[in-house]
Chain A
């Protein structure tokens, strides 16, 4: 073959690749623009969780009824929500709804015309190997779609592409075992796959087992690995280059390796930049999981996500900032190279994972229109960034109970932590008391929503504090061993009212554990709030009818007015809600769907028989409050679908 023909072939291949990429991208973007469907986990690539459908509105929401229901046949916690796709995408006749279950992650395709199961997929996973190392319930956060394929990220780290038409397996990819991880090393998955362009983005769980986690992109056409970017380690592993910045400054070479120290005299808490006297290799078991909800900015060709806690939970044994755990990342979708990063909680001492969803919106920030990224972190701060530059614009507490730090230094980005709440400063085998928020954060993964009609973010939150005791090796703490728990901390949790009785959003009893808030990300202020007895653990839906949907652990689906928070409707569902509300239309009628199936970290106690008889001392922990949930809910796994009559 001549050089010319080779060149022509290369050009043709390049063009083919580009066109595939553009087509896949355009297809899902077009589906996202059509409110009759729900084609991406976050509803659209901005992660707004907003529908233009307005059939259900503030005037008629009180009349909402149950349209139909579907049991997954599984009883563990059910997170995530359904996808709804047209025949043009699936090859099936009529519209199809796709729903998943908790482990073993069954997938069902349901015809919206007949409500019959068109096909189902039951993955064969090694339960004995996988379930023991899933730290915080055996949940799965749902499915992804592109190019005629439904993607399932199985708990056992296998990524599967299924034919949307018949459920046949198109390809399988290893997302962990290929590099020596997988369940045997404590590496599992709970995240939803996020198709972007010609790739499928997926994550990693396992920071409680010392897994050095990553974000990975697989090629949608054949499941081959496109790139993998670790949360910590050498530059070639974390895909940083000379142009990677943090708060506008280039991070330079070895930006992660330089923050894992050996010196025991390294001073905690981290209130500003510091240098190690010697470097450790603790980053090799450094954690930094990635199990959230990720948007994309196609103008910038960037995907955004957050990384979780550094391993282990005993901070004393890992001096240094532990970069880039607890970090917002903006990475090139095609190459994975990091454009910008920002570490929210340097040297975590509380398990404030940074994995929560990122939401993209063009909003006024302090009076100026801004291409923003908004993020509600476990650490209790609501962050507003310039998503194109990574500039930190707003960092304000979105629960008044947050006390571990006074504020974020807007120049350095470091939270200003108080010694009394620094579990490292207080030392190993010492109980730090009344730290707010608790390890489950002011908010966990349950995603917030944004309405472009009100320019407000609707945020499900926790109102819980904790005691935290780092466990030393002398007291039995585990050294890192692949596949073994690498936690080394003892925790109790209780309502924030015990610590912050005068917090303005407490109820009169001072024992509420949750709030549902409307947040102005331009100013960093709560606009209105609804006090909830329990942590609000559901994903939110905002609608063009100015109705906002959320669910509660005591098993109520609720609709409130987007402008005022006024309750419009509530309905008792079979079990506590930790899933996400999604919306679609079929034959001219708007539907709202939600999985009902309590579980996860906050809801775990509900399923423990005999807990109601727990003695008084347990009331010091969350049990005292959460055990009342036994009066409200038991396990379930049901998709509830609502509409007007």
Chain B
């Protein structure tokens, strides 16, 4: 199935079991099929931060790279925080150090993008998703 059009709910259902065993190591939690609220807050931060103008819906990648893959395959959390905070020299990635909403929600944003990279969440709307703790 095309990941781009895959519904968030289906994606969540499909993988929640496999991740339940070591979910505690993750920045998000999936318990009883519910995603933790911090990842949903991260999704809202992503949408409000203007990230999707370059990185596409759900960080899928557009002018900027795929962020789910970046945080799960290429960047440590420290590196992620550094790039979001200070930008990336020689690229279009701007610093967000003056963006209070992004800075206040850095952990949530990271949790959301790791969940995207783990394929726990699809790129879609999380408004109606049942929330865990």
Contact = CB atoms under 8 A, between A and B. Distances in A.
Interface of A: 75-76, 128-129, 131-137, 208, 313, 429, 431, 439, 467, 469, 471, 474-478, 483-493, 599, 601-602, 604-605, 607-608, 610-611, 613-615, 617-618, 620-623, 626, 635
Contacts, number: 152
B90 A76 contact: yes
A179 B66 CA distance: 39
B87 A488 contact: no
A604 B43 contact: no
A127 to B, nearest CB: 9
B65 A491 contact: no
Given A431-B57, A475-B47, A477-B48, A604 B96 contact: no
Contact of A133 (B73, B93, B94, B126): B94
Interface string B6-44: 000000000000000000000000000000000000011
Nearest to B58: A490
B65 A605 contact: yes
B125 to A, nearest CB: 5
Q: Which of B43, B92, B95, B125 has the largest count of A CB atoms less than 10 A from its CB? A: B92
A485 B50 contact: yes
Contacts of B54: 491, 604
Contacts of A620: 4, 60-61
A577 to B, nearest CB: 17
Interface string B86-122: 0110111111111111000000000000000000000
Contacts of B56: 467, 490-492, 621
B65 A608 contact: yes
A476 B61 contact: no
A477 B3 CA distance: 24
B66 A490 contact: no
A234 to B, nearest CB: 29
Task: Identify the 5 closest CB pairs spanning chains A and B, nearest first.
Answer: A476-B44, A490-B52, A485-B50, A604-B92, A618-B61
B65 A469 contact: no
B127 A474 contact: yes
6 contacts: A131-B94, A135-B53, A484-B100, A618-B60, A620-B4, A626-B63
Given A429-B125, A620-B60, 6 more contacts: A137-B92, A313-B53, A486-B50, A607-B91, A615-B66, A615-B69
Nearest to B47: A476
- Kindly name the residue among A133, A485, A488, A626 whose own CB sees the greatest number of chain B CB atoms within 10 A: A485
A604 B125 CA distance: 27
Given A208-B53, A478-B48, A492 B62 contact: yes
